[in-house]
Structure 1
Amino acid sequence: MGALLERRNGDESTLTERIRKRKLIEVALPLDEINAACAADKAVKTGTLRNLHKWFAPMPLPAWRAILFAALVDDPGEEVRRAELLDVVRGLVENGAGLPEQEALRRATDILAAQFPDGLPTVLDPFCGGGSTLVEAQRLGLSTLGSDLNPVPALITRTLTEVLPKAADASFEAEDEAGTLFAAAERRGHYAGVINAFHHYADWVMEEALSDLRPAYPAVSDGTVIFWLWGRTVPCTNPACGIQTVLTTTWQLSRKVGELAWVSPSVADGEVVLDVISGQRDGQAPTSPKVGRGADFQCLNCSQVIREADIRQLALDGLMGRRLIAVHIDTGSRRLFRAPTESEILAANVTAPEDLPEVSLGEANQYIAPPRYGIETFLDLYTSRQALALATFASHVARVQEKVITDGGSKELADAVSSLLGLAVGKMAQYNSTQTFVRTRRGPSAATGAFGRADLPMTWDFAETYPFGSSVGSWATVCQNLLRALEFAPMGSGRVALADARSIASNRPVVVATDPPYFDAIGYADLSDYFYMWHRRALRNVHPDLYRTIATPKTGELTAFAWHHGGTKDAARAAFIDGFTETFEHLQHLATPDVPLVIVYASKEQKGGREEETRWSSILSAMVAAKLEITGTWPIRGTTEARMRSAGSNAVSSYIAMVCRPRDDSAKTCSLADFARSLRRELSTAVRDLQAASILPVDLAQAAMGPGMQIYSRYRAVLDQAGNPVPVDHALRLINDALGEVLDEQEGELDPESRFAVRWWEAYGWSAASFGEADKAVRPLGISVDDVVRAQVATSQANKVQLLGRTGLDRDWLPSRDSNPTAWEAVHHLADRLIDGRGELEAGQLMGALANLQDPARALVYRLHDLAAKASRAGDQERYNALISAWNELLRLGSTASTDRGLF
């Protein structure tokens, strides 16, 4: 059974808070099971709801399923009955990335029906994104209302929660049943008719597109094209050279064992010649012309370095070109690379349609780099042939709605099939632009689509995938993968509108559950035109309300980008806070009175410092200004594992789900001194709960904001000595200070040898220092340096003392064989076996032998990670983060290990 976090408010709760009925989510959640399911959901790349279409930072489905149920049911106030409800939550997530068992779902829906005898409420998500909130609400039997200012997420969510349910149980039979794309597909369930129709009309779209595009994609004699590889070109800036040189980040084409391939560049008659070497058992690619980390490249002829500034100017002057470098072919028996033929080069240089919109990329910013190099519009991100292909597919999808109805299908079926095909065009665009790059690996090389991160970087070499093949980026592959999302599509009732969260209307009270924009972490509207231009071409007759404008709306988006607010960060932050204050005030008027609002928040990266504080203080300031009180907070795992990478780029692994209610009018003010005392008293328990739930150390400071803000937000105001309100950013710094005190207190509970090691490590890391300094450090702890050495925590040689723990550890160490086992030894033997040894099984066996050392060892890991972060010791941060990430699995493995079977 996973660890259970239980929250109770402090002694100074208001009378109203004590009287009102709390929901389960305000008291307890089985976080271990929820987080395990979220990790499983994130680990699955295909066969999930995310296959429908790309959207940014989606919340895992199991998390919303659990959160919504727990936010709706009353906490029974009694342990046995609460445990029964928590078992229901566990049942909802026990299948990880898969759907819950029908019996588990039935138990949950029966409880909700009993909770709301007059009818289940409607769930509102005013920032509907990829639709996961409302999908899970419908799975629990609730009706839904969604909105977004952005047509792309509105389309995704509308398709899932409004369009598809209306077409459920529709029947469709086609004379040419099997078709070319889906002959082996399974067709069953509520959406069998939709799937059958999708098969038929996807085939029809491909056949029509192939007829139109055949001149642009002539057949090749040696197999089927997987992708074409392109590189950018500029003239060398050396006046004595001037050759048209190729800018590429690598000449490597394939790293597959026995089928190595690369490009070998040379110069002949004043031109760069690119020979393709393929099918090699050994050898290596030439050195890339790219120099250093920026955008400097070496000329392939004279070797002069062409600086980034010069490349930018050449590009702005229209002198940057593109060159076809190689072709990746599937011969039927093997995959190979070869040089392009003259006819292939000629075919690639077609003319793009003239009616495509020229939507500006805007000025270059932290998320959109191409404008620095003269790439000014979204259309410029596509080669002319890619633009022609996408426009052709979209144009034929636009004919599908009328064709389905003409063929005898219902309008509901026509809308569903058209919407799915329109989304398929968007997914195809993700893999058919200059943002598509080639990933070389030990297996076959593969094209990787845009938006691996939420940005549009400048690309120098890129892949153009073949729309009519069977590999990544082809129409067939895109359509097949998209259909895999329908397994997760619910059967319910919903409505999705293109609307501002500050003005969305509902004719009945709603339950508000949302995952709003993350300050300046993702440029949703700025990036969405990448898809919108193709969606609009395909679907403006199906969803006319979504496509009234040439580009996605930018005004009113609740993000904090300076370039949308006069160029200043302060103005952007002020607009963000004001916008969300208005939003939260409006949502409270719509909300069901006895059900809390659930607001999920995170930042793109856990960098700490002023920038991170600004992101969090902004959303929290809006919540406090809107008179919301935080009554519960829960860290939800957002990534699959701790990433072994530099601390400066540690991705956030947790979302923070904040449970909020309108603050009671009778709430009192509080002095700064009383607030600090409440923090010290209540945060210690909250932090231990977070640690018990194995919140990653890299996310602990972020997660601790939640319980700290619970204390802050229950007062009308916290006043300083002059009687002025203490702002949220000041409160966050106090919360962070209190967290440091909690970790200090936990350090004080360690054995003396480990306490010495912590202090020594903080000062000297893994380096040796003088015996005299060690002696001074150890004496206040009531032990000697000899005691530390005998405990195998450190070594003492040549009048120098050095900690043990990073290398050279005895893999046979067990606490039962140690006369004085310490938390320090436990932590570092665990990390050694997990990361440098044989992995989880070996570390789990040791975990099972730690007994009463487990809890102090876990506390010590958090303390060491905190110290490593402050000292910028990235490698140590990564190790401690990885250890906590695996902690619960090690506990599970340890509980099943047995020394009787010789595992130790």
Structure 2
Amino acid sequence: MNRRLIEKTFPIKEISKECVREKRIRKGHISSLHVWWARRPLTASRVTIFSSFIKDLENGTNSVEPNEIVKLSKWESGIDKTIIEKARKKILSNKNKKFKILDPFAGGGSIPFEAQRLGFETYALDYNPVATCILKCVLEFPQKFISDKKGFIDSRKNNLLLDGIKKWGEWIQNETEKEIGKFYSTTKNDETVVGYVWNKTISCQNPKCGAEIPLSRSYYLYKKNKRVVVLYPFIKNKKVEFKILDSEKNKIPKDFDPNVGSIHSAKAKCFVCNSMIDSNQTRQLFFDKKTNEKLIAVISYKKGKTGKIYRIADNEDLKQFKKTEDFLKKKIEQIKTQEGIDPLPSEELPPPGGLGFRVQRYGMTKWTDLFNSRQKLALIVFSEKVRKAFDILISEGEDEEFAKALVAYLALGVDRLANYGSTLCYLNPTGGRGVANTFGRHVLSMVPNYAESNPFNPEGASWIKACESIEAWLERALTVESNPSVVNQSSATNIPYDNDFFDGVFTDPPYYDMIAYAGLSDFFYVWLKRMLGNIFPDVFMTPLTPKSKEIVAHPNTENKSPKEYFEKLLIQSFIEIHRVLKFDGIAVIVYGHKSTDGWETLIKSLLNSGLVVTAAWPIHTEMQGRLEAQETASLASSIYMVCRKWKKEPIGFYREIKKEMKKYLKKKLEQLWNEGISGADFFISAIGSAIEVFGKYDKIIDDKDKEVSILKLLNDTRTIVTDYAINKVIKGEFSEEISQMTRFYILWRWAYGEAKAPFDNGSKMALSVGIDIEHEWNKGFIVKDKELIHVLGPNERNEKELDESQDLIDILHKALLIWKKEKREAVEKFLEEKGYGNSEVFKRIAQAISESLPVESTEKKWLDGFLTGYRAGATQSEIQSKLF
């Protein structure tokens, strides 16, 4: 068999390090061109594609050493002429021809872009028109309009698009600023506005009060480098007013906590009478349009001066906004009359309860509802200038295809303004641009205290910065000249190519119920359609993005079972991948969903398509800080599964396969452990490795000739992984002495820390240690919180409720609660009574849990203090200092 390098070895640790490093890079990165969700790292895409077209070290002379793979993965290598040319020659030397590569879920373009960079004949598909537009700007237009084709480009002067974006970006800036720049001006000593802070307001529902409640989750305006600036609310004539307190000038009252706002989880508090409004009533007030919004503060800076200036909005600011509202009405009528289009996106949002949306419950039912009057004005005027730029280009005799490409980039710039210019943006008090973008998460949620940015601020999220960001990406992307890729808007369930057409398929399919790509991308589509609809009518032909064939498990889908709907379309897409892949071709499927439900659906779909998994590699792609900031569990790694179109063995026997799985997984788990893969990532990575064993067979039968389900094989895998992990975590001893509940607790802390995780994950973990989670939740430390499982620590438990339990973990928790009261003798007596007076297993379990938790964890601090006191000879003061 023609085995490839990626099927034998892959430098996980080194590539993971480069992927995490890439996450911190902004300038020139593909992500700076336009938002797209769950983009794969360029680093991982480049080296997985390359390694898939290099022969296994044992089978040929055209192979490379792992250190060459690592070198190719570095961010700098993407524009290193020598390294890229060498990689191209290594690939081409195998058959002296260009291989055809397909990504049928191309999305933001990372995977096909790297295939193109490596010299492959590249094809990219996506069902979504916004993705199609991005893909054209990534894979087609840049390579199409190079004026000097010498193989490698050393200067921005060699590219027509770069010059065009700079020229027409400046023209749009000047024309737009002349028309609406006055609405962002300030009379305060030549200051430039960074942004405005708004509060949405509701009336107090106490009939004896009725005060206006400015809603805010937090009162921080700035919090960095020891300087703190806050909005300080106070009551004046039964009204909530604000003043700004700056730690460099004012003393901030000790009893004032800026983190405690007037609204939390939709529950609002009136600061005048202290009455509360429950979440349902708050949402109803918004839905019934019985709300308002109030301009609270203005943030600016003065050229040549360091730091931002913060002030309370005054009457001039309010008058300026009122003039904006009046001008907006006139501008809408002008565009309707002159161009015959409605410039505002009046299209409906998805129905309430849809995946990725939380705003409809607050009365936001149309896309235009997500913007205030000044934001609407800015976006419709910038959009108008983009359309005019195209008309001028054509009237001046510019090549139509070039004009279309140029205007597409300018339209992406307007999308960037929309992303930083909606009422779903919040103020970033730690600096940066000052205003955080709409899509910090994969969900659109109401922001009660939103921040409005100035599109003419050259230091912020402005039009000029949007153009510069596009230019920076293009300049870097075009360092290496490539042929344009073929971009098609098409569903992966019906790939428009012949059988056995592609040498490789590399793709990142949708993640079950994680991201509502079509719904979320409508945020951009409604603006792009107004700018590009007449230029690219085939792409922007529908009122909103098409959704009937979107492969996502929507909870409010018309189909009875979102899971069955998702599985049906995913299987169909994998069957299509199998069909278009050559027999000696190779496919790499990337997946990083955190739920076991999503993974089981993927695996079932993959195996039913006829593809055979030959290798699976976990690549760490997320920054640790981001993961630690999340309250729910998330994978740090994505699994890259290598697949072939090889014929499967017709029948496998369960007894033999189970032995083979144990043997193979022992070797793979040791490798994963040594590579630093841990927690939830370890479990998912092991599943990928197990598929390599049982995925070779069409059918697996037991001793009674009954077919063994994929679910049973996955449960077997979890049991093997659980036993291995427990032994590793407690350092190989006492594993047989530990109860099922204690094993579950240790495993949970190791896998998820103190985070919550989906119920399905918890249920399957419990099953792997022999317990039924439904029989245990809400009785002890396992708590069901809606669709999540939360495992309580000792600081969250009641000492009296632990009195009767004989389970080691409950005894440890009670010992810690007694210890917290500084009752050392009581702890010693309690442990003696329970049989753990000087127990090595007890200490080892406590130590293992401590080592699984982050340093800031309260539970870890308690455990470390307890363990210090457990040592012979520890002084009482030492014990207490460690504990507290």
- Identify the TM-score tier after normalising by the shorter chain: 0.7 to 0.9
Q: Structure 1 residue 590: deviation in Å? A: 1.4
Q: Structure 1 residue 292: deviation in Å? A: 7.4
Instruction: Work out whether residues 124 and 511 of structure 1, in 8 Å CA contact, stay in contact via their aligned partners in 2.
Output: yes
Aligned partners of 1:614, 1:300: CA distance in 2, in Å? 45
What are the residue-to-residue correspondences of 1:812-823 with 2, within 5 Å?
none
Q: Structure 1 residue 25: deviation in Å? A: 1.5
Aligned partners of 2:631, 2:62: CA distance in 1, in Å? 41
Aligned partners of 2:388, 2:807: CA distance in 1, in Å? 80
Aligned partners of 1:141, 1:468: CA distance in 2, in Å? 40
Q: 1:299 and 2:270 equivalent?
A: yes
Q: Structure 1 residue 318: deviation in Å? A: 1.0
Aligned partners of 1:647, 1:419: CA distance in 2, in Å? 36
Amino acid of the structure 1 residue aligned with 2:278: R
Aligned equivalent of 1:860: none
Aligned equivalent of 1:517: 510
Q: 1:240 and 2:240 equivalent?
A: no
Aligned equivalent of 1:141: 119
Q: Structure 1 residue 572: deviation in Å? A: 1.2
* Shift in alpha-carbon separation, 1:383–1:723, aligned structure 2, 3 A: farther
Instruction: Work out whether residues 235 and 243 of structure 1, in 8 Å CA contact, stay in contact via their aligned partners in 2.
Output: yes
Aligned partners of 2:574, 2:463: CA distance in 1, in Å? 42
Q: 1:422 and 2:411 equivalent?
A: yes
* Shift in alpha-carbon separation, 1:168–1:289, aligned structure 2, 3 A: same
SS of residue in 1 equivalent to 2:101:
strand
* Shift in alpha-carbon separation, 1:225–1:764, aligned structure 2, 3 A: closer
Aligned equivalent of 2:171: 204
> Per-residue displacement from partner, 1:746-800 (whole Å, max 9, x unpaired)?
579x575999999998599899999xx999xxxxxxxxxxxxxxxxxxx999956
Aligned equivalent of 1:361: 349
Q: 1:593 and 2:583 equivalent?
A: yes
What are the residue-to-residue correspondences of 1:719-758 with 2, within 5 Å?
719-743=701-725
Aligned with 1:166 (options 110, 126, 144)? 144
Amino acid of the structure 1 residue aligned with 2:252: G
Instruction: Work out whether residues 37 and 97 of structure 1, in 8 Å CA contact, stay in contact via their aligned partners in 2.
Output: no
* Shift in alpha-carbon separation, 1:190–1:622, aligned structure 2, 3 A: farther
* Shift in alpha-carbon separation, 1:649–1:81, aligned structure 2, 3 A: farther
Aligned partners of 1:537, 1:34: CA distance in 2, in Å? 42
Aligned equivalent of 2:618: 635
SS of residue in 2 equivalent to 1:448:
coil
* Shift in alpha-carbon separation, 1:295–1:802, aligned structure 2, 3 A: farther
Aligned partners of 1:263, 1:448: CA distance in 2, in Å? 18
Instruction: Work out whether residues 199 and 296 of structure 2, in 8 Å CA contact, stay in contact via their aligned partners in 1.
Output: yes
Normalised by the length of structure 1, the TM-score is 0.77
Aligned equivalent of 2:195: 227
* Shift in alpha-carbon separation, 1:574–1:318, aligned structure 2, 3 A: same
Q: Structure 1 residue 191: deviation in Å? A: 5.6
> Per-residue displacement from partner, 1:513-537 (whole Å, max 9, x unpaired)?
1101101011111111111111222
* Shift in alpha-carbon separation, 1:456–1:693, aligned structure 2, 3 A: same
Instruction: Work out whether residues 215 and 268 of structure 2, in 8 Å CA contact, stay in contact via their aligned partners in 1.
Output: yes
What are the residue-to-residue correspondences of 1:501-900 with 2, within 5 Å?
501-506=492-497, 508-566=501-559, 568=560, 571-603=561-593, 606=594, 612-641=595-624, 645=628, 649-664=632-647, 667-743=649-725, 799=832, 801=837
Amino acid of the structure 2 residue aligned with 1:303: N
Normalised by the length of structure 2, the TM-score is 0.78
Amino acid of the structure 1 residue aligned with 2:212: Q
Aligned partners of 2:49, 2:242: CA distance in 1, in Å? 58
* Shift in alpha-carbon separation, 1:802–1:45, aligned structure 2, 3 A: farther
The number of aligned residues is 759
SS of residue in 2 equivalent to 1:115:
coil
Aligned equivalent of 1:104: 83
Aligned partners of 2:495, 2:360: CA distance in 1, in Å? 35
Q: Structure 1 residue 412: deviation in Å? A: 4.5
Amino acid of the structure 1 residue aligned with 2:592: A
Q: 1:380 and 2:369 equivalent?
A: yes
Amino acid of the structure 2 residue aligned with 1:656: I
* Shift in alpha-carbon separation, 1:22–1:277, aligned structure 2, 3 A: same
Aligned partners of 2:516, 2:745: CA distance in 1, in Å? 42
Aligned partners of 1:166, 1:644: CA distance in 2, in Å? 40
* Shift in alpha-carbon separation, 1:829–1:564, aligned structure 2, 3 A: closer
Amino acid of the structure 2 residue aligned with 1:193: L
SS of residue in 2 equivalent to 1:360:
coil
Aligned equivalent of 1:851: none
Aligned partners of 1:143, 1:206: CA distance in 2, in Å? 38
* Shift in alpha-carbon separation, 1:597–1:760, aligned structure 2, 3 A: closer
Aligned equivalent of 1:283: 252
Aligned partners of 1:273, 1:292: CA distance in 2, in Å? 16
Amino acid of the structure 2 residue aligned with 1:505: P
Amino acid of the structure 2 residue aligned with 1:707: S
Aligned equivalent of 1:784: none
Aligned equivalent of 1:92: 72
Aligned partners of 1:830, 1:617: CA distance in 2, in Å? 30
* Shift in alpha-carbon separation, 1:737–1:798, aligned structure 2, 3 A: closer
> Per-residue displacement from partner, 1:718-762 (whole Å, max 9, x unpaired)?
2245544333233221211121233356579x5759999999985
Aligned equivalent of 1:344: 317
* Shift in alpha-carbon separation, 1:88–1:404, aligned structure 2, 3 A: farther
Aligned with 2:231 (options 252, 263, 271)? 263
Instruction: Work out whether residues 147 and 160 of structure 2, in 8 Å CA contact, stay in contact via their aligned partners in 1.
Output: yes
> Per-residue displacement from partner, 1:226-279 (whole Å, max 9, x unpaired)?
000001011111111222221111222223457543223344455443333456
Aligned partners of 2:350, 2:66: CA distance in 1, in Å? 49
Q: Structure 1 residue 81: deviation in Å? A: 5.1
Aligned equivalent of 2:486: 495
Aligned partners of 2:543, 2:120: CA distance in 1, in Å? 35
Q: Which runs of 5+ in 2 are unaligned?
A: 333-341, 747-792, 809-827, 865-884
Instruction: Work out whether residues 245 and 251 of structure 2, in 8 Å CA contact, stay in contact via their aligned partners in 1.
Output: no
Q: Which runs of 5+ in 1 are unaligned?
A: 1-19, 172-185, 607-611, 776-794, 808-821, 837-872, 881-904
